[in-house]
Structure 1
Amino acid sequence: MDEDKKMKVKREVMEWIKSIVFAIIVAVLIKTFIFNTTYVLGNSMYPTLHERDRLFTNKITMYFSSPGRGDIIVLKAPDNPDKDYIKRVIGIEGDIVEIKNGKVYLNGKLLEEKYIDKDAYTHTYDKNYWRVEKGYVFVLGDNREEGASKDSRSFGIVPVETIKGKANFRYYPFSYRFGKLK
């Protein structure tokens, strides 16, 4: 192989290496700042989410706005820093959440929850009344069976800064559950 061909091969190899390194950097930046994937373990969000569902979690919205009522979020588990939880935001800053006779009340009005089972009874543990402070949210799992979900009923209101992102799309399984989350 003459010297000219060797230089051409070296340049081509360097271009490939640069492209691969650039792609890795872009992938890490996207995963770190824009979106992530989440794997559902357990049934705390049933019937909305099922065990082994896979979701896209949008991180970028958290840089520009706080989560809203009804959003499904991924947060650092308040009781175990090595875990993440998936929950639904029920109350935001300034809200009063109360659970009476198995029903959730938001600011004194019965909360219409189309995402839970029709006859679901929302159990309470130590408390049944929460005032959501500035910089916090109140979260519940959609599965309201007793002991089915560790959420604000057991660990209280959650700092917004512990929220890792908003889950908004289920990409697996491809069958009947594929698509945008509600």
Structure 2
Amino acid sequence: MNSGKFRSELWDWVKSILVAVVIALVIKTFLFNSTKVIGSSMYPTLHENDRLFTNKIVYIVGEPEVGDVVVLQAPDDETKDYIKRVIAVEGDTVDINDGIVYVNGEAIEEGYIAENSYTDAYDQNHWEIPAGQVFVLGDNREFRASKDSRSLGTVDEELVKGKASFRYFPFDRIGTI
């Protein structure tokens, strides 16, 4: 093989690798991310070490909706991310009384929490959700099992990084969330 042909082929390989890296970075930065579940705050929906795909673009074009499982920058520690469920959005009110969560005065159906779960209100039992904020809870309602809006208050939508939409590991639990 002559030197010119080798250099041309090498340059083609380098360009292909660079394009692939740029595409991967764009996808990871703007479209999708992979998230590993640490802790049990979303049990029984999510388990420790579950791996999820997080859709970032959904909140570039829209806003979090009630029921979404979201990845958010921890309001109390910018180096951490939390995974929580959106319970209420701006304009809603949330009350927790006798272990039951009420949004706008109506008890909500929470088929995603463990049977006979009791939702403790911690130190406050009434929240009004301001514009640009969401109220989030972990699905694990055991006492102090989840650091969520009951202790952190409402969360700025700007901290919501994406919607956890698909579990890809472990393989026996693969599927949409």
TM-score normalized by the length of structure 1:
0.96
Q: Secondary structure of the equivalent of 1:134?
A: coil
Mapped partners of 1:160, 1:10: distance in 2: 50
Q: Secondary structure of the equivalent of 2:171?
A: coil
% of aligned pairs identical?
A: 57
- Aligned residue-pair number: 177
Hey, what does 2:93 align to over in structure 1?
96
Deviation at 1:126, TM superposition (A): 1.4
Instruction: Tell me the amino acid that sits aligned with residue 6 of structure 1.
Output: S
Hey, what does 1:178 align to over in structure 2?
174
Q: Secondary structure of the equivalent of 2:59?
A: helix
Mapped partners of 2:155, 2:40: distance in 1: 20
Mapped partners of 1:82, 1:55: distance in 2: 19
Deviation at 1:125, TM superposition (A): 1.3
Q: Rg bigger for which structure?
A: 1
Hey, what does 1:142 align to over in structure 2?
139
Task: Summarize deviations over 1:89-126 as a string: whole Å, max 9, x none.
Answer: 00001100100000000100000000001200001111
TM-score normalized by the length of structure 2:
0.99
In structure 1, the gaps of 5 or more residues are none
Q: Secondary structure of the equivalent of 1:24?
A: helix
Instruction: Tell me the amino acid that sits aligned with residue 17 of structure 2.
Output: I
Match of 2:35 among 28, 35, 38: 38
Instruction: Tell me the amino acid that sits aligned with residue 136 of structure 2.
Output: V
Mapped partners of 2:159, 2:38: distance in 1: 19
In structure 2, the gaps of 5 or more residues are none
Mapped partners of 1:61, 1:110: distance in 2: 28
Mapped partners of 2:140, 2:16: distance in 1: 46
Mapped partners of 1:36, 1:81: distance in 2: 18
Instruction: Tell me the amino acid that sits aligned with residue 164 of structure 1.
Output: K
Match of 1:25 among 22, 27, 44: 22
